[in-house]
Amino acid sequence: MPLTPLDIHNKEFSRRLRGYDEDEVNEFLDQVIKDYEGVIRENKELSNQLLSVQEKLDHFATIEETLSKTIIIAQEAADDVKNNAKKEAQLIVKEAEKNADRIVNEALGKSRKIALEVEELKKQASIYRARFRTLVEAQLELLTQDGWEALESREQEVRDREREMKEIY
């Protein structure tokens, strides 16, 4: 157990014959008491400072730990956002490709349908021209002939030609 200034102050020495000078010893003890009190005071101040510094250190260590965790969480969140964005972009691209394929297929289907319609219209126009030509030729022949017999035979020819044309197309 350490000495206190009071212990030093209350210390009494036994007296002997040729001992130390009592006033000199008391003065020295008074000086030791003062110095010892100063050392104790300084020790308390340093202990308080140490405690304060330790509290600050603990506080900063807690802040550092919190910041580290926050940075890790932020990094994980950023990675999650990045991964989700990539997945979403891939889905958008796939959907766009699917829509593009559908649009191209629809356009090809319409193109084929229009081509078939054009061919059908060409056939109908050809049939119409052939019929019209036959009719015009028959009318011209009718005008050049005098009798109805020729007209009747001509009508029969027209019908025959129309039948032939229908069979061809």
Q: What is the pLDDT of residues 38-68, one digit of tens each?
A: 999 999 999 999 999 999 999 999 999 999 9
Say what the pLDDT of residue 36 is: 87
From residue 23, alpha-carbon distances to 9, 20, 26, 45 in Å are 13, 9, 5, 33
Say what the pLDDT of residue 67 is: 96
Say what the pLDDT of residue 146 is: 61
**Does 152 have pLDDT greater than 80?**
no
Cα(69)–Cα(54) distance, rounded to whole angstroms?
A: 22
Q: For the chain, what is the domain count?
A: 1
Give the pLDDT confidence of 105-151 residue by residue, as tens digits. 999 999 999 999 999 999 999 999 999 999 998 888 777 766 556 55
Q: Which domain holds residue 31?
A: 3-166
Cα(89)–Cα(94) distance, rounded to whole angstroms?
A: 9
Listed range (4-13, 96-105, 144-153) with the worst mean pLDDT = 144-153
Say what the pLDDT of residue 150 is: 59
Cα(120)–Cα(128) distance, rounded to whole angstroms?
A: 12
Banded model confidence at residue 31, pLDDT cuts 50, 70, 90: confident
